[in-house]
């Protein structure tokens, strides 16, 4: 089969009628990689390399299909190959590329999505052969983030991730010149590709400077919070595990709750009270996913720093899913990348209303909690578990408060956990768990620090 036989001749899949997402064979680049003016037809491709089973490959492709659907396209076919290792030029073997092309012609596919991050050379070679867009898992996730970013910071973070992804892929992409070209900007002999690359690099540097200033501002905010009596609890977890629903249950916050991947990108922080009366700051964060693109982790570091700076992580897991432990591993991998893996963690298995497996998972994992964020079942137990974990991190102090200082007695009861009270003639002797900030404010009454 030669190049003239691929996608020509007035049949479904013609290059003349093809409606690809971007690049030489598609339309103009928009805010994402998939053209949402219509529901694109997609063929997804997975590769079972040495050590990976076909079942694991199909499970990963199931998630990829959810990602494609969230991005606004329809999967029409799925192709899987087993190889010892990926083909360096085309990811899959030469014969499998021809099979993919035949499948594209059969279903009139606009785009082929591969369940990995393709190298720029692989992507270029595949598009040249398939005569349609070859997109990878990273491109789909970036597209979803582009759709869901709403704040100025979120949009800047997504754009930075996209540009870092696009920069090494400029070769042969005509549409990039539409985004970056300009009259009077070219020097003698300068190619359009060089103009595009220079402009993208300049834009990347500007976004990096903007986000660096945001990071500095967040650091100042964290310093202010460190002087606050409130503990910071971050809700983390796999995308669509129910984090935003849980935040709504715990705080009554009006946040977007949607049964789709990556519905939340911008962090939301609300204050709430625990059963003992302690006030905490609770933050919802962006969901994670297996093989979350490194570009996104790097770009979203200023947002994810709230996780690294938390006192406790409430790790929400979809207990009704096919492989909750794989999701836990994926989340912990990202936590390690952002240096949040040392923050204490409370595992919360969610969606008990959908599966009896949730409580079985709780039984197998002592210290975890089972809930349904949708119905509210188990929320009270979760609040108690959060309070207990936070108290365990506190220091026990012995204090003596004269009777004339009723305000100090009230502050100890309000901000700490009173363990022992002994009435004396001239005042009250108290043993209480206190945060460091509270202990400093009550320093004149502190007699002894009982536990380190």
Tens-of-pLDDT digits for all 452 residues of the chain? Answer: 444 333 333 444 444 445 554 333 333 334 566 665 668 899 999 999 877 889 889 988 998 998 898 888 999 999 999 999 999 999 999 999 999 999 999 999 989 999 988 999 999 999 999 999 999 998 888 888 888 777 777 788 888 888 988 888 886 444 433 334 444 444 455 577 788 888 889 999 999 888 888 777 766 766 665 556 678 899 999 988 888 889 889 887 665 555 555 655 566 788 888 887 778 888 888 788 877 777 777 777 766 777 888 899 999 999 998 889 989 999 999 899 888 888 999 999 999 999 999 999 999 999 999 999 999 999 999 999 999 898 888 788 999 999 999 999 999 988 777 889 999 999 999 998 887 778 888 999 999 888 65
172: in domain: no
Same domain, 129 and 107: yes
Give the Å distances, CA to CA, from 59 to 54, 56, 321, 326, 351: 9, 5, 11, 11, 20
Between CA 336 and CA 339 the distance in angstroms is 5
| CATH number, position 438 | 3.30.70
Q: In what order do the strands lie in the sheet with 231-237?
A: 268-273, 279-284, 231-237, 312-318, 345-350, 369-370
Residue 170 resides in a domain: no
The answer to whether position 366 is within a domain reads: yes
Residue 295, domain CATH: 3.40.50.300
Residue 369's H or E segment, with its range, is strand 369-370
Tokens 């503990």: give the residue.
231
185 assigned to some structural domain: yes
Would 444 be classed as within a structural domain? Answer: yes
The pLDDT assigned to 438 comes to 83
Distance CA 318, CA 160 (A): 30
Nearest to 285 by CA among 300, 264, 302: 264
Q: Is residue 122 part of a domain?
A: yes
Residues 68 and 88 in one domain: yes
443 occurs within a structural domain: yes
My answer on whether 202 and 294 are in the same domain is no
Residues 233 and 348 in one domain: yes
User: What pLDDT was estimated at residue 302?
Assistant: 65
Q: What is the pLDDT of residue 431?
A: 92
Specify whether 279 is located in the same domain as 382: yes
Q: Are 57 and 24 in contact (CB under 8 A)?
A: no
pTM exceeding the 0.85 threshold for the entire prediction: no
Q: 246 and 215: one domain?
A: no
pLDDT of residue 2: 43
Q: What's the pLDDT at 175?
A: 40
Are 84 and 213 in the same domain?
Answer: no
**DSSP letter assigned to residue 187:** P
Look at residue 293 and tell me if it is in a domain: yes
Q: How many domains does the chain have?
A: 4
Q: What is the pLDDT of residue 181?
A: 42
Query: Looking at 354, 373, 391, which one is the last position of a domain?
Result: 391
The range of the structural domain enclosing residue 61 comes to 3-146
């Amino acid at each position: 089969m030669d190049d003239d036989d691929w996608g020509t001749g007035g049949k479904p899949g013609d290059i003349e009628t093809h409606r690809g997402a971007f690049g030489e064979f598609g339309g103009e680049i928009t805010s994402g990689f998939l053209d949402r003016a219509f529901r694109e037809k997609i063929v997804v491709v997975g590769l079972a390399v040495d050590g990976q089973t076909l079942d694991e490959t199909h499970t990963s492709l199931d998630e990829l299909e959810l990602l494609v659907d969230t991005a606004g396209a329809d999967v029409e076919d799925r192709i899987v190959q087993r190889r010892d290792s990926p083909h360096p030029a085309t990811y899959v073997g030469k014969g499998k590329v021809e099979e993919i092309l035949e499948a594209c012609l059969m279903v009139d596919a606009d785009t082929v999505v591969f369940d990995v991050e393709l190298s720029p050379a692989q992507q270029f070679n595949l598009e040249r052969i398939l005569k349609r867009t070859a997109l990878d898992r990273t491109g789909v996730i970036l597209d979803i983030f582009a759709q869901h970013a709403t704040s100025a910071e979120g949009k800047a973070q997504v754009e930075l991730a996209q540009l870092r992804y696009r920069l090494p892929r400029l070769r042969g992409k005509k549409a990039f010149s539409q985004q970056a070209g300009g009259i009077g900007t070219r020097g003698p002999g300068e190619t359009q590709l060089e103009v595009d690359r220079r402009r993208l690099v300049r834009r990347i540097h500007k976004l990096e400077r903007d986000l660096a200033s945001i990071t500095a501002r967040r650091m100042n905010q964290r310093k202010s919070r460190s002087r606050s009596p409130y503990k910071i609890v971050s809700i983390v977890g796999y995308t669509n595990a129910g984090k935003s629903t849980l935040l709504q249950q715990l705080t009554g916050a009006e946040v977007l709750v949607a049964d789709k991947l990556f519905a939340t990108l911008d962090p939301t922080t609300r204050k709430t009270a625990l059963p003992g009366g302690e006030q905490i700051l609770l933050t919802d964060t962006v969901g994670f996913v297996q093989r979350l693109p490194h570009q996104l982790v790097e770009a979203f570091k200023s947002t994810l720093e709230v996780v690294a700076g938390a006192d406790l992580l409430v790790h929400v897991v979809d207990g009704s899913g096919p492989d909750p432990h794989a999701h836990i591993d994926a989340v912990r991998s990202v936590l390690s990348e952002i240096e949040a893996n040392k923050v204490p963690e409370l595992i919360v298995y969610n969606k008990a209303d959908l599966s009896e497996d949730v409580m079985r998972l709780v039984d197998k994992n002592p210290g975890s909690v089972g809930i349904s964020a949708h119905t509210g079942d188990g929320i009270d137990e979760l609040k108690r578990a959060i309070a207990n974990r936070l108290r365990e991190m506190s220091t026990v102090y012995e204090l003596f408060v004269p009777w004339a200082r009723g305000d100090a007695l009230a502050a100890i009861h309000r901000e700490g956990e009173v363990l022992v009270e002994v009435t004396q003639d001239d005042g009250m002797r108290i043993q209480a768990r206190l945060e460091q900030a509270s202990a400093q404010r009550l320093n004149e009454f502190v007699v002894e620090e009982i536990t380190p």
